Amino acid sequence: MNMKKAATLALGILTSVGGFFDVGAIATSAQAGALFRYQLLWALALGTILVVFLVEMSGRFAAVTRQALPDAIRQQFGFTSWLVPFAVLTLIHFLTLGAEIGGICFALHLLTGLRVSFWALPVAALVWLFLWRSTFSAIENSTALLGLITLAFVVAAWRYHPPMGQVLAGLLPSLPHHEPARYWYIAVGLLGAVISPYLFYFYSSGAVEDEWDESYVGVNRGVAAIGMGFGSVISVGAIVVAAVVLAPRGIQVDDYHQAALMLTQVFPFWGFALFAVSMGIACLGAAVELSLAMAYTQAQTFGWNWGEDLDPREDARFCLTYTVAILAAALLILFGVDPLKLTLLSMAINAAVLPFVALPFLLLMNDRKLLGKHANGWISNSVTILTLVVAIVLAAVSIPLMFLGG
Amino acid sequence: MKKKLPDELELARDLLDKQVVDRDETKMGRVDGLVLELREGKPPRVDHLEMGSSVLARRLGPRIERWVSAFRQRIGVQKAGRYRVPWEKVQEIVPYQVKLDVKVDETPAFAWEHWLRDHVIAHIPRGLKGKTD
């Protein structure tokens, strides 16, 4: 394998740091561990399997057709069919971007003691400057490298020596002993946090930015598995830590402040700061990824020139899309929207729209005229359809249940 | 320049909504519409491709077309909202794009792009990206 192909792992890790282990995963993992200890690990495992397959598929699609997903979806299904999903996705991306910016602001609030809303505009400026000035590979490499700090959750989980029997038992779904509505709602939240639609738009556009061709099909498989595996292991770490630290004290995580206690036992002196920095970096990765996903989707839908490596004068509309998106999303936080509530809301919506994102995608992946011999085989199809059915049933049952039950 | 076109083309599947690039591979829009010429006693012929917001709006219905048109008249940089590409300019059709034998800067397709570049982007200090200066 040559160096260029080995370096594509950075795209996988970036996608994972931003798309997998983000503000949603932190919030839902903390809640899952605090309320149900290891019992919800199965939801994470289910989400991981689905996300590995879907990410692999979107990378393979981009490598073979040289098209990212929004581009291909508009072409294959037509402008009028794409318009409504496009509008819905733009709204979800916007809310999730707000949640991620809120996550960075919260991390800075933990470190400085200044109010969350105070940080909204400085954080927006930071995210924007990162995108405005950096090339795609600089963003990939720096975020992938910084993202390694989130391994703190895995180290902490390891040091706590969790009961392995219970951890493994959690990988199999079981019925809750208490608060069933919360249990299923958090299960759906975990799925929504893990499988966010923007992941696929971002990853496939990234593959086009990195100029993948058919020879990347094999590398892509490894990148998807290792990259998403990385995010999954960290989320497992976060659930375990929450189970050990928060659950025995009856801390329920209605507020990010409670989640911040997670690392203070293993790292007494700097656990608090470590949590804040991990959270800040994970959310920064996600904010960058979301802003780009929004700009990619917008530009590809209308055929504008796009590319993170271009001089902004060559793709003015692309750059202005992420500029406006970042500013508007930061306003949510500036005007005092609660970051945790915004996160949980966007995770639930993410899970609810999942079928509408995945089904057209599955159709594309089975189109032999587009993909030839690289079209989906029966393994990809059956794994995706099976996990998808489980996700749909969960979402259909739990979301109304939660709103009815309060 | 030699043209590179497939022997057979399904208009809706292989042409409509496809990415359009110019001679230098700059992405300039998408095939938003296709116009056929109906000929007496002969099969219809593709006369031109259409690109632009008014073409898209028309696909969504007459009311949306009126709204978009009114909006464009008020603040529009490109008042027509439509760019017609004669079939003769189609240079190459491959699965992922349609290449035109034009230079995008000389077409109305980049009216907004250029307006934003000159009125907004030009005023923000740029980073280290891009080769040109």
For chain A, the average pLDDT equals 89
DSSP structure class, residue B125 = P
pLDDT per position as a tens digit, A141-159: 888 888 889 999 999 999 9
A305's tokens:
């020139």
State the average pLDDT over residues A68-97.
Answer: 94
Question: Considering the entire predicted model, what is its pTM?
Answer: 0.93
DSSP codes joined into one string, B47-105: EEEEESHHHHHHHH-HHHHHHHHHHHHHH-SSTT--EEEEGGGEEEEETTEEEESS-GG
Is the pLDDT at A406 greater than 60, yes or no? no
Q: Do A304 and B95 touch (CB under 8 A)?
A: no
CA–CA separation, A304 and B20 (whole Å): 9
Q: Do A66 and B96 touch (CB under 8 A)?
A: yes
Structure-token match 């499988």, residue found: A195
Nearest chain B residue to A208 by CA distance is B96
DSSP-based three-state secondary structure for A316: helix
Q: Do A133 and B129 touch (CB under 8 A)?
A: yes
Check if B130 contacts A (Cβ < 8 Å). Answer: yes
pLDDT band per the 50, 70, 90 thresholds, residue A23: confident
Residues of A with Cβ-Cβ distance to B13 under 8 angstroms: 76
Is the pLDDT at B131 greater than 60, yes or no? no
Residue B75: what pLDDT?
79
CA distances from residue A114 to A31, A100, A336 in whole angstroms, order as listed: 25, 18, 14
| Least confident residue range of A260-269, A286-295, B36-45 | A260-269
Sign of the CA dihedral running A274, A280, A284, A290: positive
Residues of A with Cβ-Cβ distance to B124 under 8 angstroms: 132, 312
Q: pLDDT > 90: what percent of chain A?
A: 58
More confident residue, A350 or A362: A362
Q: Do B113 and A317 touch (CB under 8 A)?
A: yes
Nearest chain B residue to A67 by CA distance is B96
Phi and psi of A80, rounded to 5°?
-70, -35
Angle subtended at Cα A282 by Cα A279 and Cα A286, rounded to the nearest 5 degrees: 130
Q: pLDDT > 70: what percent of chain A?
A: 97
pLDDT band per the 50, 70, 90 thresholds, residue A13: confident
More confident residue, A260 or A14: A260
Question: Measured between CB atoms, which of B59, B112, B124 is closest to A79?
Answer: B59
pLDDT band per the 50, 70, 90 thresholds, residue B128: low
Residue A394: what pLDDT?
77
Shortest distance, CA A356 to any CA of chain B (angstroms): 21
Element (H, E) at B36: strand B33-39
Angle subtended at Cα B42 by Cα B97 and Cα B82, rounded to the nearest 5 degrees: 40
Q: Do B121 and A320 touch (CB under 8 A)?
A: yes
Question: Measured between CB atoms, which of B16, B26, B124 is closest to A305?
Answer: B26
State the average pLDDT over residues A164-177.
Answer: 92
Residues of A with Cβ-Cβ distance to B12 under 8 angstroms: 78
Residue A302: what pLDDT?
96
Residues in contact with A184: Cβ distance below 8 Å, sequence separation at least 6, in sequence order: A176, A394, A397, A398, A401, A402
DSSP structure class, residue B4 = B
Check if B24 contacts A (Cβ < 8 Å). Answer: no
User: Which of B16, B58, B121 would you mutate first to test chain A, the one with the most A CBs within 10 A?
Assistant: B121
Q: Which domains does chain A have, with CATH numbers?
A: 3-405 (1.20.1740.10)
Residue B130: what pLDDT?
57
Residue B3: what pLDDT?
82
CA–CA separation, A92 and A68 (whole Å): 19
State the average pLDDT over residues A45-61.
Answer: 92
pLDDT per position as a tens digit, A295-335: 999 999 999 999 988 999 999 999 999 999 999 999 999 99
Residue A117: what pLDDT?
95
Task: Quote the radius of gyration of chain B (alpha carbons, Å).
Answer: 17
The total of other beta-carbon atoms located within 10 Å of residue B89's CB is 16
Q: Are A47 and A190 in contact (CB under 8 A)?
A: yes
Question: Measured between CB atoms, which of A299, A303, A310 is closest to B129?
Answer: A310
CA–CA separation, A282 and A16 (whole Å): 9
**CA dihedral of residues A351, A354, A355, A359 (deg, nearest 10):** -170
More confident residue, A352 or A85: A85
pLDDT per position as a tens digit, B57-102: 999 999 999 998 888 888 767 667 889 999 999 999 998 999 999 9
Contact map slice: B 36-65 vs A, CB within 8 A: 51, 56, 59-60
Q: Are B23 and B102 in contact (CB under 8 A)?
A: yes
Residue B133: what pLDDT?
42
Q: Do A83 and B60 touch (CB under 8 A)?
A: yes
DSSP-based three-state secondary structure for B17: coil
Shortest distance, CA B108 to any CA of chain A (angstroms): 13
pLDDT band per the 50, 70, 90 thresholds, residue B127: low
Chains A & B: contacts with CB separation below 8 Å: 92
Q: Which domains does chain B have, with CATH numbers?
A: 11-128 (2.30.30.240)
pLDDT per position as a tens digit, B24-39: 999 999 999 999 999 9
CA–CA separation, A89 and B30 (whole Å): 20
CA–CA separation, A224 and A57 (whole Å): 9
pLDDT band per the 50, 70, 90 thresholds, residue B132: very low
Residues in contact with B71: Cβ distance below 8 Å, sequence separation at least 6, in sequence order: none
Instruction: Reduce the secondary structure of A337-386 to three states and give it as a string.
Output: CCHHHHHHHHHHHHHHHHHHHHHHHHHHHCCHHHHHHHCCCHHHHHHHHH
The residue among B93, B76, B92, B67 whose CA lies nearest residue B2 is B92
CA–CA separation, A28 and A102 (whole Å): 15
B109-133 residues labelled b (16+ CB within 10 A) or e (exposed)? bbbbbbebbeeebeeeeeeebbeee
Residues of B with Cβ-Cβ distance to A75 under 8 angstroms: 17-19
Is the pLDDT at A2 greater than 70, yes or no? no
